[in-house]
Structure 1
Amino acid sequence: MNAYVPPRIYPWFNLLSLGFPVLITAYVLLTVFWVFAWKKRAIVFAAFGLLFLNPVKRWVNYSAEKKETSDLKIISLNAKGGTMGIKNIEDYVDSQNADVVLLQEHVRDYNFKGMGKGRGDVIVSISSKYKIIDQKELIESNSETNNAYANQTDIEIKGNTYRFINVYLQPFKFEKSMVKLKGNSDEDEQKLKDIVKRLIPTFKMHQDQVAAVRKGIDESPYPVILVGDFNSVPNSYEYYHLGKGLKDAFVEAGRGSATSFHDYKFPIRIDYVFTSESIQPLSYKVDRSVRISDHYPVVATFKLKK
């Protein structure tokens, strides 16, 4: 329903998408229970379960390894303001030999070897080994309540131009203490109410921000690579509408879990890479070997069609 119903009309479908890992796990366990209980309803549960294959692949996927040689390597990272070490981020990026680096919540200034800097702001930035032709802001924060940013950068790569769109949608601004339940029914109930009060208005803000980013995608004369921290999970309104007409690089080439935000003990995928049809994702890796932020870096490679 999130593909059709905007949050400003009915936000509760979007709220439901946050619990998808728990809901689908319960569905699978219930199906297995009916199978072992020799109930006919197990056939119905198993059949309807096939409808969830694609939604599940947005969280956990096992694509076949592709043998083609890549033309482009990018890194996307929410840097958390460099609070876990600017040099750690610089050293990691330099070790990866990427062609384009897109940061969200970068706040500080970074210097990557062999890369030129694009014009950025305090939240989203881009660095590239290739020539940056043009840049434009799609979303600009203009108040204390609107903290979303997005910009588009046109880069010439091997004779062709590609549009990179770097997105940071409105954050929910949760602290661990705000979402951690303590077993006290009254206190936990109030926490849940406070969480919902924060989620619903943010979903509605996302709707307008998604529309602004879509304009940059839809009006692009070049193939698009859409990257960033959407502050939204797969199967959400934001996922469906930002990814419309594009390929999810994780679904195309990812292996294992796409969970990228590791600060909570819950599977949360909010970092994404989407591409136009003419760009073939070859690999997508959530690099869990380093902890240089509360997000793991996302590293992806592509084959660019001539």
Structure 2
Amino acid sequence: MDKRTFLRRKLGFISKTMFLANMLAIVALLMSYSASFINPKSFWPIAFMGLGYLPILLINIGFIFYWLLRKRKIALYSLITILIGWPFLTKHWNIRKENAPVSSETRTLRIMTFNAHLFKKVNDEKKNFKADVVRIIDSISPDVICFQEYISKIKGKHVFSEEFKDKLGYDYFFFEPSSKNDYEAYGMAVLSRFPIYDSGTIRDNDYGINRISYVDIKKQDTLIRIYNIHLRSFALQNEDKEFIQNLSNNNESDNSRTRKLSRKLKNAFELRSEQAHSLKKHMNECQYPYIAVGDFNDTPMSYSVNLIGDGLYNAFKEKGNGWGVTHHALLPIFQIDYIFASQKFQVMNYQIVKQKLSDHYPVWSDLRLKP
């Protein structure tokens, strides 16, 4: 019996079709891995593969079960491919390592990041949830809070910044509005229980509300720099979100909308890459311990997230548990909010606060300065 006859007997038509589909899924998974180190400015289509990592992964897992049920060793192909990308998987899914006890006398800093969505509930623009935010912050008691999409009255008794100071004891505050009028301003804010000695904004690749600011605080005679990050968003409008949610019902007449959406995604991938390079250069010039937190608007497979996190501790990877979903609107499968720390820190704890206030969940971590 020659080899071709053996293969025809070994795999029938359906199995051959499934085998071909499985090989395509494996190639797609390998391409999603490469999205983490290929700059979208060099080859932007690869960034879409990184965005599709989770569904591609699930498809490969499905093929593993399919071939196991048919008692075929072909199941090993997808299994090996998934194992090759295990370091990428642990950036999305993790089993909590034992959390270390934290004492107020230690060199530990508790930091929290939260995209507040202008303090308005998703799909309920009239309902304000500032009181809920104050309650949650009071229960967590972070030393430093980094807000993205922060809004506050400029003057009067409803100034939100004063509420944090009076009720929660955050005496130090940095807020540089990206937009304001006579009554209110919004942008990025940092609230601290420790003195702020310096602050600023990285002006390279600054896109309005999507920008990077920093503060230098002092804890136990040690200067610590904290970067508050809000990378370029996809700038999706309501019609874009509805289009994505109804992709299965769309027809050929929607090709123009698909192209328009693709251009938005491409533009955002490239702009985030530029912001990430500007931030990395700034961090490399920092002479003391630093922390980078915020809304990166990109997944753990993306080039921008991996560039920023290169050489840093990823708090979720160190102490996270389960699927690291931090954004629950539209497609609630993505982690786009991060806490990274330089090598002079040890990650003690990490927590995603599953409270649906904004379209993002608050995230906090305990970071201990090494001796």
2:245 is matched with: 180
| Unaligned 5+ runs, structure 1 | none
Instruction: Tell whether 2:130 aligns with 1:86.
Output: yes
**Structure 1 counterpart of 2:361, from 286, 296, 300:** 296
Instruction: Verify the 8 A CA contact 2:313 2:340 in the aligned structure 1.
Output: yes
Question: Superposition RMSD on alpha carbons, in Å?
Answer: 1.9
Whole-Å separation in 2 of the counterparts to 1:116 and 1:179: 43
**Structure 2 counterpart of 1:223, from 289, 311, 316:** 289
- For the residue of structure 1 that corresponds to 2:175, the secondary structure is coil
Structure number with higher helix proportion: 2
Give the aligned residue type for 1:66: N
Which structure 2 residues correspond to residues 1-306 of structure 1 after superposition, within 5 A? Answer: 1-69=34-102, 71-84=108-121, 85-108=129-152, 109-110=160-161, 111-112=163-164, 113-122=168-177, 123-139=187-203, 146-174=208-236, 175=238, 176-181=241-246, 183-288=249-354, 290-306=355-371
Residues 266-275 or 45-54, more deviating: 45-54
Whole-Å separation in 1 of the counterparts to 2:212 and 2:264: 22
Whole-Å separation in 1 of the counterparts to 2:311 and 2:203: 21
Residues 187-196 or 105-114, more deviating: 187-196
Whole-Å separation in 2 of the counterparts to 1:149 and 1:29: 40
Whole-Å separation in 2 of the counterparts to 1:98 and 1:266: 26
**TM-score, normalised to structure 2's length?**
0.77
Whole-Å separation in 2 of the counterparts to 1:69 and 1:93: 18
Instruction: Verify the 8 A CA contact 1:31 1:45 in the aligned structure 2.
Output: yes
Cα distance per residue 1:47-81 (max 9 Å; x no partner) = 22211211111111112222342522111100001
Shift of 1:150: 0.6
Give the aligned residue type for 2:191: S
Shift of 1:146: 4.9
Change (3 A) 1:284 1:189: farther
Amino-acid identity (%): 24
Cα distance per residue 1:147-184 (max 9 Å; x no partner) = 42111111111221111001001111213324221613
**TM-score, normalised to structure 1's length?**
0.92
- For the residue of structure 2 that corresponds to 1:232, the secondary structure is coil
Aligned residues: 303
Whole-Å separation in 2 of the counterparts to 1:192 and 1:233: 21
Residues 256-265 or 174-183, more deviating: 174-183
Shift of 1:189: 4.0
Shift of 1:187: 4.7
- For the residue of structure 2 that corresponds to 1:119, the secondary structure is strand
